[in-house]
Structure 1
């Protein structure tokens, strides 16, 4: 199996190292990642500018690495094109911070995985509350082993996997979930010492989440696996309009 690793935290992120170690037993692993931090870039691509792409030092266990001066989706495109290899799977992450609920709309980690799926390659996005979790490496291996062995990644969408809050010594198990509702509400706050300059002050807006949501799983100590599709069509509304 040929596996491409991508992310949005940048080529030097510890998350790539963890994934490389976890996935090497499953095949030949290559890396294509942004040169610098690209969080919250969603599915942006560079259309109106050139892209600088360099060979990067190999992460242990990998066979090739590209440093892409662009977005996470750019990195996915570059890896799929420039390695001249037919990839079987793209794994994005491990992101430093969860990508649950409305985070999915903004996430460069998920965006990079979606770009792979547009190209017809199965994809998994992986995030964790932070990359220093004591259990993360062992649980990443265990989860990826099960997903790959059962071929759960072969579907019409992307698997979005999140490891739970740091307050849990280790995950209680795995729950297959749907996207939750919570989101970050932002306020524009003006800096008093700089004219016409603002910064975003964010706070979480919460809802009563169902027990099958990724938010509930994350906050209650479970690994969540959420299938995410590329289609944005509201079929319920479409059927009503057609009637």
Structure 2
């Protein structure tokens, strides 16, 4: 596939983990059209929970879905991170000015960033030192109303494109409440907690057992007033800066003692 040649307008790469047909992705692509040239490269179906997974066992393929002046859509059988890697290595003749992932159907607040394919794409962009932002709406419905998200999404992306310096290795995780109008916006940290990994045991038509992942998020700090979970519960959109550096530098002294090093 030949590299895509763009104008001198800002180049915005959009992906997601819900699939190229997802309403959230199609809506954000329309929201951002006035800001630059849009290239959508997204999975051909749902890839939720893929985190930063990459495809190494099967060939990757791409299919052009729509190709217009300043607006292109391509689907792939890969993961959200594959979408970023394919775009950077196969499609583009220059670096994107902005990477947007989403709008995800459902929240990616708290520790969900660990599992999220939406945020996996954001982390990949951050590793490449490209301003990268994940957007999620706290609504899992396929026909969710994304109209209330428009102004905030456009405002954040416009400011990202105008930023003279973006902190390296940092992406933004933006979550929006399921409301006709947000009560405000909070820049905060992710709530600490965990998912109860519960599995529903079921039986298929052939009498064979199978297991379906369910589970509930448990917030370990429900009263902390500086977390995304706290403010989302109160009708605010939240913005959490997320780092690709997983080093637990603060624990070095403790492990030096444990390991006698």
Q: Please report the TM-score for the alignment, with normalisation by the length of structure 1.
A: 0.89
Q: Confirm or deny that 1:234 pairs with 2:243.
A: no
Please point out which of 66, 76, 79 is paired with 1:68.
76
Q: What RMSD over aligned residues (CA atoms) do the two structures have, in Å? A: 2.2
Q: How much has 1:20 moved relative to structure 2?
A: 1.8
Q: How much has 1:196 moved relative to structure 2?
A: 4.0
Aligned positions, number: 240
Per the alignment, in what secondary structure is the counterpart of residue 52 of structure 2? Answer: coil
What residue is the counterpart of 1:127 in the other structure? Answer: 136
Distance in 2, matches of 1:140 and 1:121, equals 17
Given that 1:177 and 1:213 are in contact with CA atoms closer than 8 Å, whether structure 2 keeps it comes out as yes
What residue is the counterpart of 2:200 in the other structure? Answer: 189
Distance in 2, matches of 1:106 and 1:183, equals 11
Given that 1:93 and 1:126 are in contact with CA atoms closer than 8 Å, whether structure 2 keeps it comes out as yes
Given that 2:100 and 2:122 are in contact with CA atoms closer than 8 Å, whether structure 1 keeps it comes out as yes
Per the alignment, in what secondary structure is the counterpart of residue 45 of structure 1? Answer: coil
Q: How much has 1:224 moved relative to structure 2?
A: 0.7
The 5 A counterparts of 1:35-50 are 35-50=44-59
Given that 1:20 and 1:62 are in contact with CA atoms closer than 8 Å, whether structure 2 keeps it comes out as no
Q: Confirm or deny that 1:223 pairs with 2:237.
A: yes
What residue is the counterpart of 2:172 in the other structure? Answer: 159
Q: 5+ unaligned residues in a row in structure 1: which ranges?
A: none
Given that 1:122 and 1:158 are in contact with CA atoms closer than 8 Å, whether structure 2 keeps it comes out as yes
Structure 1 residues 229-238 or 124-133, which shifts more? 124-133
Instruction: Label 1:153 to 1:16 Cα distance change in 2 as closer, same or farther (>3 A).
Output: farther
Q: Please report the TM-score for the alignment, with normalisation by the length of structure 2.
A: 0.83
Q: 5+ unaligned residues in a row in structure 2: which ranges?
A: 1-9
Q: How much has 1:18 moved relative to structure 2?
A: 2.1
Distance in 1, matches of 2:219 and 2:101, equals 27
Distance in 2, matches of 1:38 and 1:62, equals 27
Given that 1:43 and 1:108 are in contact with CA atoms closer than 8 Å, whether structure 2 keeps it comes out as yes
The 5 A counterparts of 1:34-183 are 34-58=43-67, 62-86=70-94, 87-130=96-139, 131-150=144-163, 154-164=167-177, 166=178, 168-183=179-194
Distance in 2, matches of 1:195 and 1:65, equals 40
Instruction: Label 1:229 to 1:74 Cα distance change in 2 as closer, same or farther (>3 A).
Output: same
